Amino acid sequence: MQAPSAAELLVVWERARAQPMTTQALMLLAAASPGASWEDLAKLSVGRRDERLLVLREALFGARLLGLTSCPRCRQQLEIGIQSTDIHIDGDQSDRELLSVTSGAYVARFRLPNSEDLSAIAGRDDRQPDEAATIRKLLSRCLVELRRNGRRQRLDSSHGLPPALIEAIAAEMEKADPQANVQIPLDCADCGNRWLSAFDIVSFLWSEIDNWAKRLLREVCALASAFGWSESDILAMSAQRRQLYLQMIGDAA
Ligand SMILES: [Zn+2]
Q: Tens digits of per-residue pLDDT, 6-22?
A: 999 999 999 999 999 99
Residue 250 lies in a domain: no
The residue among 230, 208, 218 whose CA lies nearest residue 9 is 208
Residue 126 lies in a domain: yes
Distance from the alpha carbon of residue 79 to the mean position of ligand 1, in angstroms? 12
Distance from the alpha carbon of residue 89 to the mean position of ligand 1, in angstroms? 27
Distance from the alpha carbon of residue 189 to the mean position of ligand 1, in angstroms? 7
- Yes or no: say if 63 and 85 are a contact pair by the CB < 8 Å rule: yes
Residue 166 lies in a domain: yes
| Other CB atoms within 10 Å distance of the CB of residue 84 | 16
Residue 76 lies in a domain: no
User: pLDDT at position 253, please?
Assistant: 59
Distance from the alpha carbon of residue 32 to the mean position of ligand 1, in angstroms? 39
Distance from the alpha carbon of residue 85 to the mean position of ligand 1, in angstroms? 26
Residue 175 lies in a domain: yes
User: pLDDT at position 125, please?
Assistant: 57
Residue 104 lies in a domain: yes
Task: Give the chain's residues under pLDDT 70.
Answer: 91-95, 123-129, 157-159, 252-253
Tally the C-alpha atoms within 13 A of residue 86's C-alpha that lie toward its C-beta.
14
The residue among 122, 120, 121, 96 whose CA lies nearest residue 109 is 96
Distance (Å, rounded) from C-alpha 33 to C-alpha 4?
9
The distance from CA 14 to its chain's CA centroid, rounded to whole angstroms, is 18
Distance from the alpha carbon of residue 82 to the mean position of ligand 1, in angstroms? 19
Distance from the alpha carbon of residue 199 to the mean position of ligand 1, in angstroms? 19
Domain total of the chain: 1
- Yes or no: say if 176 and 110 are a contact pair by the CB < 8 Å rule: no
Distance from the alpha carbon of residue 183 to the mean position of ligand 1, in angstroms? 18
User: pLDDT at position 62, please?
Assistant: 95
Residue 145 lies in a domain: yes
Residue 120 lies in a domain: yes
Distance from the alpha carbon of residue 197 to the mean position of ligand 1, in angstroms? 13
Distance from the alpha carbon of residue 65 to the mean position of ligand 1, in angstroms? 21
User: pLDDT at position 126, please?
Assistant: 55
pTM metric for this prediction: 0.90
Domain span at residue 112 reads 99-182
Distance from the alpha carbon of residue 68 to the mean position of ligand 1, in angstroms? 14
Distance (Å, rounded) from C-alpha 1 to C-alpha 161?
40
